[in-house]
DNA sequence: GTAGATTACTTTTGTTTTGAAAGCAAAACT
DNA sequence: AGTTTTGCTTTCAAAACAAAAGTAATCTAC
């Protein structure tokens, strides 16, 4: 994926980066579904092809939305983590989810959103998601250190 | 553009619809840049190809994000207007813009966002954008009626 | 320690989508 | 009546996507 910015519009520039079928799905899987290794993404029910995944992970790393780490006790498995820049997309995802829930259910009736996610509780929900993510990362790090 | 929902995830379903290079750009141009006719979109500096535009307008209409109208005094020019569903994407665009401004400037230095758009003033800004859009639509309608 | 499995890719080979350019019919100006 | 404008559609080359197979490095079980 060769990212080139079309113009100086902030909206269009964001779309240049994340306006495709997979980039935001990967961010969502990291943020909300605890996916962090290549295998996690490939084996998910959304089933991204491995070449596309490889390409998008590289792009996300190049733009500093994620960082690649290895655990000290395993030289092989790469762990992908959201950076601050990546976590900054949480409000975008939340707004997408709310819109989807309100306006897309009629076309895809199975859509089901968390009870906790309402327009009123939006800001709290965003904070909670980010806090949960960071807590999970910390827990993983401690589990390895022990 | 053949929209098919991959799964029941609300986030992914939204991406199935608007996760491409042009759909959200068109919505942005309608909402913020007063574009409303086929020509307006084709002639914009973002220069969408007419076949892609035609396809996306059909999709947006099929999913009721926009509606197509004609002015009574002109049988030819189609006027495309955002519906409630389409206007509902305003918060998504605003969050994209804020994220872009905060995190993409280093890669695309020319990005410039309105002074009025800050994290604090977000909700007001969303309301203002929508109110301005609706006011403009009403003004157009009155201009024709007179 | 070595055979087999796993992980994170890359390569190959099609298919689909995109986009530039040209074409076209209906309507609207002149 | 002739030209221009508008809103498309068609054509075709290029790029992106995706399924499948391949590969190298590492890990795991015996």
CA of B49 to C1' of D12 (A): 15
Question: What's the sign of the alpha-carbon dihedral A25, A26, A32, A37?
Answer: positive
pLDDT surpassing 80 at residue A137: yes
CA dist., res. A10 & res. A18, Å (int): 12
pLDDT of residue B139: 87
Share of chain A above pLDDT 90, in %: 70
Question: Distance between CA B78 and CA B70 in Å, rounded?
Answer: 5
Average pLDDT over residues A120-146: 87
Query: β-strand B78-82 against B66-70: which pairing, if any?
Result: antiparallel
**pLDDT digit string (tens) for A54-64?**
999 999 999 99
The stretch B42-63 carries a mean pLDDT of: 91
Mean pLDDT of chain B: 91
In which band, very low, low, confident or very high, does the pLDDT at A146 lie, cut at 50, 70 and 90? Answer: very low
**Nearest CA to CA, how far is B53 from chain A (Å)?**
16
Whether the per-residue pLDDT at A20 is higher than 50: the answer is: yes
Q: Which residues of B touch A (CB under 8 A)?
A: 5-17, 19-21, 24-25, 28, 32, 45-46, 63, 85, 88-89, 91-93, 95-104, 107-108, 110-113
pLDDT score of B72: 74
Separation between Cα atoms, residue B116 and residue B122, nearest integer Å:
9
Taking 90 as the threshold, does the pLDDT of residue B145 lie above it? no
Question: Taking the mean position of all CA atoms in its chain, how far away is CA A141?
Answer: 20
Q: Please report which confidence band the pLDDT of residue B36 belongs to, taking 50, 70 and 90 as the band edges.
A: very high
Instruction: Find and list the nucleotides of strand C having atoms within 7 Å of a protein beta carbon.
Output: 6-12, 17-23, 26-29
Q: Tell me the pLDDT band of A73, cut-offs 50, 70 and 90.
A: confident
pLDDT tens readout for residues B102-133: 999 999 998 988 888 889 999 999 999 999 99
d(CA A56, CA A54): 6
Please answer yes or no on whether B96 and A101 come within 8 Å at the CB atom: no
- The candidate with the shortest Cα–Cα distance to A126, out of A99, A86, A91, A83, is A91
CA angle B19, B60, B142 (to 5 degrees): 130
Q: What is the pLDDT of residue A46?
A: 86
- Taking residue A135's Cβ as centre, other Cβ atoms within 10 Å add up to 10
Residue B25 clears pLDDT 70, i.e. is over it: yes
Does residue A76 surpass a pLDDT of 90?
A: no
CA A60 – CA A25 distance, rounded (Å): 12
Sequence-distant (6+) residues with CB within 8 A of A106 are none
**For residue B15, pLDDT beyond 50:** yes
């Amino acid at each position: 994926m060769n990212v080139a910015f079309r113009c100086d519009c902030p909206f269009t520039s964001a779309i240049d980066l994340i306006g495709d079928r997979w980039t935001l799905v990967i961010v969502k899987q990291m943020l909300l579904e605890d996916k962090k290794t290549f295998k996690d993404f490939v084996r998910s029910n959304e089933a991204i092809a491995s070449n596309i995944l490889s390409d998008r992970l590289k792009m996300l790393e190049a733009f500093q939305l994620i960082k690649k780490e290895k655990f000290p006790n395993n030289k092989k498995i790469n762990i992908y983590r959201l950076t601050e820049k990546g976590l900054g997309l949480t409000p975008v995802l939340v707004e997408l989810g709310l819109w989807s829930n309100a306006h897309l259910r009629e076309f895809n009736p199975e859509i089901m959103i968390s009870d906790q996610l309402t327009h009123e509780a939006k800001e709290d929900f965003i904070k909670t998601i980010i806090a949960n993510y960071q807590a999970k990362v910390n827990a993983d790090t401690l589990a390895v250190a022990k």
